[in-house]
């Protein structure tokens, strides 16, 4: 099973995990959040997260999900990526996280594909509702 690590600004990851628990009724295994605050030292965060990755990795790898490409959480995450074993996707949203959980038992490359496809498919403009009653 692939571990999932959220690295995000402040309470974003906590809120997303709360939503996951609301939707699924429980917190999935091997899901962890690391908060990056305005006072976070990136070098210290990387050191802590290397330990977290060892705990999350059950042999199938870890998928890191982060919020904004180029921001501190993503920059920290990029220092943790290991080709083929620890991957990172930026642009974190709830459909992306749910998709990662749904395919958590799949190989890491397949999860990456499913997460990217699902995240892109979930971003749509909603048209005004049509009143079919009249």
Tens digit of each residue's pLDDT (9 = 90 or more) over 41-82? 999 999 999 999 999 999 999 999 999 999 999 999 999 999
Options 3.40.50.510, 3.40.50.300, 3.40.50.10470, 3.40.50.720; CATH of 3-105? 3.40.50.510
The whole-number pLDDT of residue 102 equals 97
**pLDDT given at position 133:** 59
Q: What is the pLDDT of the chain when averaged over all its residues?
A: 95
Structure tokens at 68: 């904004």
- Domain limits of the chain? 3-105
Are the beta carbons of 5 and 32 closer than 8 angstroms?
A: yes
Q: What is the pLDDT of residue 129?
A: 82
Distance CA 21, CA 16 (A): 9
- d(CA 70, CA 91) in angstroms, rounded, equals 11
Gap between the Cα atoms of 99 and 39, Å rounded: 31
- pTM strictly above 0.85: yes
pLDDT band of residue 92 (cuts 50, 70, 90) is very high
């Amino acid at each position: 099973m692939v571990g999932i690590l959220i690295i995000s600004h402040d309470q974003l990851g906590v809120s997303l995990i709360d939503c996951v628990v609301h939707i699924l009724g429980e917190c999935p295994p091997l899901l962890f959040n690391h908060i990056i605050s305005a006072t976070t030292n990136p070098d210290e965060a990387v050191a802590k997260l290397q330990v977290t990755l060892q705990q999350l990795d059950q042999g199938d790898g870890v998928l890191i999900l982060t919020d904004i490409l180029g921001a501190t959480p993503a920059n920290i995450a990029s220092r943790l990526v290991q080709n083929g074993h620890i991957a990172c996707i930026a642009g974190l949203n709830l459909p992306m996280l749910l998709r990662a959980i749904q395919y958590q038992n799949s190989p890491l490359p397949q999860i990456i594909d499913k997460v990217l496809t699902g995240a892109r498919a979930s971003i749509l403009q909603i048209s005004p509702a049509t009143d079919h009653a009249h």
